[in-house]
Structure 1
Amino acid sequence: MNAPVAPASSASRPATLPEERVPWREKLAFGIGGILDNFGNAGLKNIANPIFNIVLGVSPALVGLMISISRVWDAFIDPIVGSASDNARTRWGRRKPFVAVGIVGCAVALPLMMFCPAGGSEASRFAWLMTAGLLFYAAYAIFVIPFNAIAFEMTSDIHERTRVQAVKTIVAAISGVGIQWIFPLTQNGWLGDPVRSVRIVGLGLGALYLLIGIVPLFALKERLFRQVSKQAVVPLRTSLPAALRSRPFRLLLLVIVLTHLGLNTVNALGIYVNVYYVHGGDAKAASIVSGWWGTVYLISTISLTPAIAALSTRIGKRRALLACLACVLTGSALKWFLFSPAHPWWQLVIGALLGPGLSGLWMLVPSMTMDIVDYEELQTGRRSDAVFYAISAWVGKCGLALSLFLSGLLLVGLGFDAKLGAAQSATTLFWMRVCFAWLPALTVIASLFTVARFPLTTEKMLRVRAELQQRRQPPASA
């Protein structure tokens, strides 16, 4: 039986209570940890085809297959890690032991991936990448699910949650500037030939994982550990179906799937459209423009994320998310017009639109998931923070895996052949551009209709929070 929801006794935008404010030290530590989350989730896939196909010569279809299988493996592990973390009762907490193990594993597996031999058979190179990819994404799952579950405990204020995610988004975006320049770094000769450069970069990334991972491990606190440690162990076979019965959660999962299928299936086409259509086969010139495109994307993300967080506080998360998706739709449609051989720098306008649109999306979706956890706690009396995050990550990674697999097949199906260089057929380039611009536009339109049906408004969540706070208060003495 559903618990009643108490009427709200405050305005729709009440001030955050002092005890619900997260100190800047903890916000920043969570944001720094988000650098590792960002690279594992998005950074590696963004450099996979340029590094493993263009530099190491592995077929784009096999690169897509490697990433997709690794992400399915990662996704399979997510709910198991989430349930294990929710039910852990160690002296160091529920989350931090997993975070520590995951960081070390990533720091070892990532350089191993970059040391893929440039010679030998394609089958042997694929086997190397596949093994290293499975190891990396297993460690990534062990790190990322408990790490993000900590954010669910940092505050119960619905708007402070968005501010916490905003800091993470900004810090991760700053780190993304470096990610955008990884491929150009392997092309300019500063570190030697491209293959040697890839290996040096891999060792550096492994060391950074260890150094950066120390910050959230020691700075973040598990605020609800004492309270939740009294909760009975909830097995995965119970918590998983319970989460999936939530209609608001299912709507949010659909948005995640649509976003991945629309954007990530064609994201890999960007470098190919730049190299072979915009720049006529000049990979070095294309890599410079791509680097600046990514830089503009990230600058717009960093500069406008605080405004999106403020907009969310003012008009609510649902309406703010609709505004972000509208930016993504506009940017996607403009790809058809602004990726131009006559004006290669016009494409930077698209980066300025997609930056705030997508950063707002990935800032608001976790914040809305936290609201769903509160809403479901009110209905069931149980909290399964990591399981909810794990399911959303699982769905996202399955969507990502499918999209990356499709992206490799798409390149092959469109007739792309790296051996032809600048002599790609006009038909291949035309359909590359069609898919690159209009496929994501269609899925974003579907996402707009889905978000419009999301039922947890600001007013409703304020009532949920008030009821939960009343329930958590110790009973008065007789």
Structure 2
Amino acid sequence: MHDGAETPIPAVSSGTGRSLPPLPFGTKIGYASGALLDGIANQAVNIFIFFYVTAVCGLPAALAGVALAIGLVVDAVVDPLIGSMSDGWTSRLGRRLPFILIGVPCTGLFMVLIFSLPSALTGMALFAWLTFLSIGLRVSISLFLLPYNAVGAELSDSYAERSSIAAWRWGFAMLGALIAIVLGFGVFLGGEGGLSRRAAYAPFALSAALVGAVGGIIAVRALLATRDRQHAAASGDGAIHTRLWRELSEVFRNQSFRTLFVGALLLFTSLSIHSTLGLHANTYFWRMTPGQMQIVTLSLFAGLLLGAPLAGPFLKVMEKRTVLLIGMVGLALAFSIPATLRLIGIFPFTGITLVTILSATVIVGGALMAAAAISFASMMADAADEHEHLFGARREGLYYAGWAFASKAAAGFGSLVAGVALQAIGFESGGDAAAAAAKLSPATIDWIGAIYGPGASLLALLAATTCLFYRLDARKHAQIIGDLDARRAIAVGAAAPLAA
């Protein structure tokens, strides 16, 4: 399971002895509600921003892809710093909450700004402003999300309860995504003009930001009530940049983390390409109306939401890695089968038949992916325990920062690939969507479907192959927790005479 040089070190954990009762249900729900902000902010951007910037605001697709990619890449570089700082931050509110309190309002502000691009800006001026807003929004989301996810791993040491916490958090994130979709397609971007109505995007973003802020505030209250369950700040010596480099080197020495990191990198690249081209594929490849798009998109997120309660039974009878692999493969099939069949000429369906088939496909794929994502989050928390067992330090913040780094660097790369690919296949930005569809060549439309469908799914299958190398299971985790409890008991016993 580990490299030959890796053996548990004898150092005693800096934590105290822990014997945590089950997390109260109300507290669990309060904490999980913070994921509304995650779901609303990320999905509003992932689903709408690329179409808004290219087809509505007229920025060339390659420049739009670069601007959005820069925001994600800069954020990915900053993520480890945020994770390390939240691991070692000391305050009367604990080590995570100060970052969360900054992240909630900043996320809302930048969300509104990025969907309110001035019509007077064009060309490189629009590119520069979009790049700045992209960086600000992504870093703001990270200031909230990284400490928020990390503290979820601290609320329980139970192998099973962590999956329950991750499932509720996932459920609220998907609820946030559904709210973003309904507000977008159903309220602000439906009707005459649809997705091409530029003035509708700012009120859409403001409404979504307000709902997300409510979820964030509820989570803050829950975390204030659970400070006694959270770990103390990790000790660190030296300047932040030298300490961060040392801590990152330490984290990558754990094979479990490395496997999850590479798997996330591949999976999120696949998801980014697929979601970035989602509206383009729905508009030009499938030729759906905004109302039909809403049905299919809602079906996807309904599947992702339904997957949360399904994860529990799966995880009771199967290892987390098994559930993860099933979910990744299921998602890849959902991505690829309909588009591939259309490309080879044996999927002629249109109208309500097309919408029904696509909706059924994405519900199944979304449910399986949800179970996989819940397993992924729970596995990351288990790997953080393994890290303390190996190296004697709690690094939840860095572990989730590494996961975020992989996802955001991959998302940035996916946006870049999508933008450059659209430019390469001859897609022209700007103008009315219906008029643009009439001008596109059949070859260009087929390329959109090929990249969006089977192209993205190949990376998801490669991610599943990578995760076969993850070896931490329930039996091994129980041994690790038993050893950590013994170390903490020794530490508490040694500290008692000194306190007296």
Aligned counterparts of 2:424 and 2:271: Cα–Cα separation in 1:
18
Letter in 1 for 2:232: V
- Structure 1: which 5+ runs fail to align? 6-16, 280-284
Deviates more, 1:258-267 or 1:228-237: 228-237
Length-normalised TM-score, structure 1: 0.89
Residue of structure 2 equivalent to 1:475: 493
Note the aligned Cα RMSD (angstroms). Answer: 2.6
User: Which residue in the other structure is 2:24 paired with?
Assistant: 23
Counterpart in the other structure of 1:243:
251
Q: Structure 2 CA distance, aligned partners of 1:136 and 1:442?
A: 30
Could you tell me how far 1:408 is from its partner in structure 2?
0.8
Inter-partner Cα distance in structure 2 for 1:272 and 1:86: 41
Matched, 1:335 2:351: no
> Partners of 2:368 and 2:108 in 1: how far apart?
31
Distance 1:157 1:414 in 2: 51
What is the CA–CA distance in structure 2 between the aligned matches of 1:167 and 1:294, rounded to whole Å? 21
Mapped to 2, the partners of 1:428 and 1:191 lie a distance apart of: 23
Q: CA deviation at 1:378?
A: 0.7
Partner in structure 2 of residue 360 of structure 1:
371
Match of 2:203 among 200, 205, 229: 200
Q: Which residue of 2 aligns with 1:9?
A: none
1:427 aligns with 2:431: no
CA displacement at 1:412 relative to structure 2: 1.2
Shift of 1:193: 8.4
Look up the match of 2:14: none
2:454 corresponds to which of 427, 438, 447: 438
Tell me which residue corresponds to 1:139: 140
C-alpha change, 1:379 and 1:18, in structure 2 (3 Å) is closer
Distance 1:193 1:302 in 2: 29
Matches within 5 A, 1:17-416: 19-184=20-185, 185-188=188-191, 194-220=197-223, 221-225=226-230, 228-229=232-233, 231-232=235-236, 235-279=243-287, 285-336=288-339, 337=341, 340-342=348-350, 343-345=353-355, 346-416=357-427
Shift of 1:340: 4.8
Q: Deviation of residue 406 (structure 1)?
A: 0.7
- Distance apart, 1:203 and its partner CA: 2.3
1:43 and 1:335, CA in 2 relative to 1: closer, same or farther beyond 3 A?
farther
Distance 1:157 1:110, change over 3 A: same
Tell me whether 110-119 or 372-381 shows the greater mean CA deviation: 110-119
More off after superposition, 78-87 vs 114-123: 114-123
* Residue 223 of structure 1: how far off its partner (Å): 4.2
Of 240-249 and 207-216, the range deviating more from structure 2: 207-216
Greater Cα shift, 147-156 or 261-270: 261-270
Is residue 3 from structure 1 mapped to residue 14 from structure 2 by the alignment?
A: no
Q: Once the 2 structures are TM-superposed, how far is the Cα of residue 243 of structure 1 from its aligned partner?
A: 0.3
Per-residue deviation, 1:230: 7.3
Secondary structure of 2:33's aligned partner: helix
| TM-score under structure 2 length normalisation | 0.86
Deviations 1:234-293 (A, max 9, x none): 8212211100111111111111111122232233323222212322xxxxx522122111
Aligned length: 461
Match of 2:469, SS? coil
| CA deviation map 1:318-337 (0-9, x unaligned) | 11111112211221232323
Counterpart code for 1:295: L
Q: 2 CA distance for matches of 1:55 and 1:74? A: 26
Seen in structure 2, the aligned counterparts of structure 1 residues 51 and 182 have a Cα distance that, compared at 3 Å, is: farther
**Residue in structure 1 matched with residue 3 of structure 2 by the alignment:** none
Stretches of structure 2 that go unaligned for 5 or more consecutive residues are: 1-5, 11-17
Identity of aligned residues (%): 20
Choose between structure 1 and 2 for higher RCO, CA contacts under 8 A separated by at least 6 residues: 2
Which stretch shows the higher mean deviation, 344-353 or 202-211? 202-211
In the aligned structure 2, how far is the partner of 1:265 from the partner of 1:122?
Answer: 24
Q: Partner of 2:227: helix, strand, or coil?
A: coil
SS, match of residue 181 in structure 1: helix
Shift of 1:341: 5.0
